[in-house]
A and B are shown apart, each in its own frame.
Chain A
Amino acid sequence: MSRYFTDEHEWIDVEGEIATVGITDYAQEQLGDIVFVELPAEGTNFEKGDDAAVVESVKAASDVYAPISGEVVESNSALEDEPALVNSDAEEDGWFFKLRIADASELEGLMTEAAYKKFVAAL
């Protein structure tokens, strides 16, 4: 399994043709206490860059974009009952949705973990 990162602070785990998407630990830290996550319905088709989810902190709503194109095959229903999972475990149990990858070449432009760490350190 490989993990990729975007400069919009999403992480993507790729296993075969399925990509799991969440927001990074850095992103949840910036957002603060998360009280609601609006997730896409199964079967939704995204182009890379589409609005895919909304994460609401105590103070503000933020959009989460689809980091690559694909069809939603599952959303993390655990977040409905416990949105704070994004704060406590952003990069594992706090995942947002899984996509069936439409175009694997889109992964090429994404960052590795080391590159993302460097990117965040420079912010």
Chain B
Amino acid sequence: MSGNDDIAHIEEELPLQDLPLDTWHRAKGARMVGFAGYHMPIQYEGIMAEHSWTREHAGLFDVSHMGQISFSGEGVDEALEHLLPSDIKGLQPFRQRYSMLLDEEGGILDDLMVSRPGDGAFDGAAIYMVVNGATKYDDMGWMIEHLPDEVVMNHMDEQALLALQGPEAGEALASLIPETADLLFMQSGPFTWRGVSLWISRSGYTGEDGFEISVPAEDVVLLADALCALPQVKPIGLGARDSLRLEAGLPLYGHDLTPAVSTIGADLGFAIQKRRREEGGFIGHVRVMKELADGPAARRVGLKIEGRLPAREGATIYAGASQVGEVTSGGFAPTVGAPIAMGWVSLPHAAVDTALEIEVRGKRIAATVAPMPFVPHRYRRKA
């Protein structure tokens, strides 16, 4: 028997580093794999059980491998509007936005969250950003190259990052920090717990209500223990994080998003607010404008798959005899109870309900372009 774990990009050439919760994960029985340069927990009791627990209760994810970066100095907003296609000037204090780094050709270098701490909160940072773990050093190199000297960028590598996700995440966190109950989706703020300064946003990447909590690395064990002592909370591995985000229709960088693809085709146009579309002035604007006017050549779509055989990343997609696309993420969806996939298909075949075929080990399986998310989002928005 042989297998290759498609989430575990084992980088054997570089020694893997330990995250602040490494010992904690192992003590909880996690199976550890190499991912983004770190030993990471892929699962504890099993992906299906952890996935379901998160959908029904609250799951605690260690996402400390992700890059936390702060920006300050003269002209930060203008400088970041050159780098990001999103409206940074209009970003209000304590608000967060999904955005991305684009290259000169409009290809996606990374997707990220950007927020404005406000009032000198969170070490006085003017802007706080969370980027993907596997790309964080490349991102920082790219940003240093394109930022003026007046803007100071700080890699906050002394901070750990936890994500608490699921329908009971709100009541769980409020039992430790009652003030967090007032946060709405994509709002953030400074909080204190047992004297520890936390930066908490109501966001995440599972489609569920939940939070991302930036905590000093030296205090993360204490916080993780306190959260997992709550009846609603269990630690959850990267395996379930991936199946949850796939069901939520959320793209994964390095898989569904790469430098070869663009914002509009990726269906991420919502991250480029009206003023930025019209005014431009960001790296990659030419391609965004062209695709807004002419439509992209291909689109990121959801795929419902007939039967039980999963179609995974790299499987080719056909309309009749012609290849019209490729699966970029796929697997068994525990909440849906069937295999699902995300992929890129050429524009004429990208409409919802289009019947396609996916080739898996030489066999064609029937698939249909499906609306996303596969499982409805349950973000806590204003009533």
Does A83 lie at the interface of the complex (its beta carbon under 8 Å from any beta carbon of B)?
A: yes
- Known interface pairs A61-B3, A63-B2; A56-B243 also in contact (CB < 8 Å): no
Complex alpha-carbon distance, A55 and B310, angstroms: 11
CA distance A8 to B1 in the complex (A): 5
Tell me which residues from 299 to 345 in chain B have a Cβ below 8 Å from any Cβ of chain A. 308-310, 312, 331-332, 334, 339
- Contact status B308-A58, CB under 8 Å: no
Binding-face segment, B40-48, B180-188, B219-227: B40-48
| Complexed CA–CA distance, A10 and B42 (Å) | 24
Q: Tell me which of B4-12, B69-77, B107-115, B206-214 binds A.
A: B4-12
Looking at A58, A65, A83, which has the most chain B CB atoms within 10 Å of its CB?
A58
Contact among A10, A36, A59, A65 for B47, CB-based, below 8 A = A59
Q: How large is the interface on B (under 10, 10 to 19, 20 to 34, 35 or more residues)?
A: 20 to 34
Cross-chain contact B46 with A32 (CB below 8 angstroms) = yes
A57 to chain B, nearest CB (A): 8
Q: Given A36-B332, A58-B243, A59-B242, verify A23-B1 contact (CB < 8 Å).
A: yes
Task: Tell me how many residues of A have a C-beta within 8 Å of chain B.
Answer: 25
- With contacts A33-B47, A38-B361, A58-B48 taken as known, whether A8 is within 8 angstroms of B310 at the C-beta atoms is no
Please, which residues of chain B bring their CB within 8 A of the CB of A23? 1
Known A-B contacts A58-B332, A58-B334, A60-B4; A36 and B48 likewise in contact (beta carbons under 8 Å)? no
Cβ–Cβ contact A8 & B2, under 8 A: yes
Would you list 12 pairs from A and B whose C-beta atoms are within 8 A, ordered by A residue?
Answer: A9-B1, A10-B1, A35-B308, A57-B3, A58-B47, A58-B332, A59-B42, A59-B239, A61-B312, A62-B4, A65-B2, A83-B308
Chain B interface (Cβ within 8 Å of chain A)? Answer: 1-7, 42-43, 46-48, 51, 239, 242-243, 308-310, 312, 331-332, 334, 339, 361
Using a CB–CB cutoff of 8 Å, the interface residues on chain A facing chain B are 8-10, 23, 27, 30-33, 35-36, 38, 54-65, 83
